[in-house]
Chain A
Amino acid sequence: KAGVTQTPRYLIKTRGQQVTLSCSPISGHRSVSWYQQTPGQGLQFLFEYFSETQRNKGNFPGRFSGRQFSNSRSEMNVSTLELGDSALYLCASSLNGGSVQETQYFGPGTRLLVL
């Protein structure tokens, strides 16, 4: 099976712009979670989507949003970018996610640089 893929891999934006990142999960996986990774802060949970519904969310401002499509592909959007949004954004997929406590498989990430 193909692994989790993310596009684009690298992105440079300026403050105030908005950005959309895409994640395609492993075939058959219905849960997609998004994480922000920065040096010293590790992996911080953004949100999880399952069957096109946001099932859970972390402590990020409303500028961070996402959605999931019927084929389980997910997008994440960040509006009004700030310098502090520069990070590696990882998505992870699992079969059902949530309380089932399954293995999460990570994508390669999208590295976002905000200037």
Chain B
Amino acid sequence: GENVEQHPSTLSVQEGDSAVIKCTYSDSASNYFPWYKQELGKRPQLIIDIRSNVGEKKDQRIAVTLNKTAKHFSLHITETQPEDSAVYFCAAYMNRDDKIIFGKGTRLHILP
């Protein structure tokens, strides 16, 4: 079936450095890619999303890039801060199945 691969599963970066999380998807017709952040003990919350008609979207320190040809998209967090520590999930809307499939998550640790 359709799936979304997310890497790495764990990422540690020094405070102030950048973090990059990458995802690949299988359904070439996918056209909507949200990213969710889940802090410890809390619910996932949307932080940014991108649609297939654009290649990049930025919101302050967060950016997402999309390469439709290669079927991969990435989350970039610059100038990381302690509050960025969380699990991040990428997701892709699968047109064929009419549902959103999530990656398995990346646990991001911001080191002091």
Q: What are the interface flags for B90-102 relative to A under an 8 Å C-beta threshold, 1 for contact and 0 otherwise?
A: 0101010111111
Contact check, A104 vs B104: say whether CB atoms are below 8 A apart: no
Interface assignment of B26: CB less than 8 Å from any CB of chain A: no
Question: Chain B contact residues (Cβ within 8 angstroms of A): what range?
Answer: 20 to 34
Task: Let me know if B102 and A42 touch, CB within 8 A.
Answer: yes
Task: Quote the shortest CB–CB distance from B36 to chain A (angstroms).
Answer: 8
A101, B102: Cβ atoms closer than 8 Å: no
Contacts of A59 on B, CB cut-off 8 Å? 1
Check B43 against A107 for contact (C-beta < 8 Å).
yes
Query: A42 is contacted by which of B42, B46, B98, B104 (Cβ under 8 Å)?
Result: B104
Chain B interface, >50% SS class: strand
- Kindly list chain A residues whose C-beta atoms are within 8 Å of the C-beta of B32: 101
Which residues 11-40 of B have a CB within 8 angstroms of A?
Answer: 31-32, 34, 36
Q: Which residue of B lies closest to A102 (CB)?
A: B32
Residues 67-109 of B, flagged 1 when their CB comes within 8 A of A and 0 if not, give 0000000000000000000000101010101111111110000
Task: State the B residues within 8 Å of A (CB).
Answer: 1, 6, 31-32, 34, 36, 42-46, 49, 51, 89, 91, 93, 95, 97-105
Binding site for B on A (CB under 8 A): 4, 33, 35, 40-45, 48, 55-56, 58-59, 90, 98-99, 101, 103-109
Question: Could you list 21 A-B pairs, sorted by A, with CB under 8 Å?
Answer: A41-B104, A42-B89, A43-B44, A43-B91, A43-B105, A45-B101, A48-B99, A55-B98, A58-B99, A90-B43, A99-B95, A101-B31, A103-B34, A103-B49, A104-B34, A104-B46, A104-B100, A105-B46, A106-B36, A106-B44, A108-B43
